[in-house]
Chains A and B, each alone.
Chain A
Amino acid sequence: EVQLVQSGAEVKKPGESLKISCKGSGYSFTSYWIGWVRQMPGKGLEWMGIIYPGDSDTRYSPSFQGQVTISADKSISTAYLQWSSLKASDTAMYYCARRNRGWNDDYYYYYMDVWGKGTTVTVSS
């Protein structure tokens, strides 16, 4: 079974650092991009960025560039999302998701087919 297992809930203080994880299993982890999505309390889904674990090629949404770091360790099939200095506004649920690919004889199309259960991050003094 294809799965993404995310690390547990975190409670942190403003200014602290944090690294959350997303471990893939049941498929070739290095062959699929992994994306990160933020959902603030009561709000919609926001795209943060994506990484290709095969070579750690990483792309960030302009809204999150410089605010977080996305990384991966392919030896343990795990992707990471980290902050160097948390703010109260980082309080949210964070999801990782696998990006799959299809071909329609003309072009590739991409979609997020497997999602982790999410990691709740609470930042409060």
Chain B
Amino acid sequence: SYVLTQPPSVSVAPGKTARITCGGNNIGSKSVHWYQQKPGQAPVLVIYYDSDRPSGIPERFSGSNSGNTATLTISRVEAGDEADYYCQVWDSSSDQHAVFGGGTQLTVL
């Protein structure tokens, strides 16, 4: 089955830019979605279809996807952005089977 690889942790200072990667074989050919999960809360969709933002998500959140890597970029990071972030695609063998990356814990220094 398809495997998504994320770094376990990323640290960034407030006001700087955080980049969280999601690696997968030819992931550029798939649509990638990103979810934010704060401690004790349910996941929230922050980016869908590689780079689209749902309403209510700040413009500071952006996404890109090419080759074997998708990237979630958070500009002007705030303390409130501290959370776990998960990338997700659908398995090519079945558009009913979701695959999640292992998650990346974003720490705001």
Contact = CB atoms under 8 A, between A and B. Distances in A.
Which has the most chain B C-beta neighbours within 10 Å: A50, A95, A111, A116?
A: A111
A46 B97 CA distance: 11
Interface stretch (A7-15, A24-32, A79-87, A102-110): A102-110
Interface string A86-125: 0000000001010000101000111111011110000000
Contacts, number: 67
Which has the most chain A C-beta neighbours within 10 Å: B35, B41, B86?
A: B35
A53 interface: no
Contacts of B37: 45
Given A111-B33, A115-B43, A115-B44, A44 B97 contact: no
A21 to B, nearest CB: 16
Contacts of B45: 111-113, 115
Contacts of B42: 95, 115-118
A59 B94 contact: yes
Contacts of A113: 45, 48, 54
A44 B86 contact: yes
Contacts of A115: 42-45
Interface of B: 1, 31, 33, 35, 37, 41-45, 48-49, 52, 54, 84, 86, 88, 90, 94-103
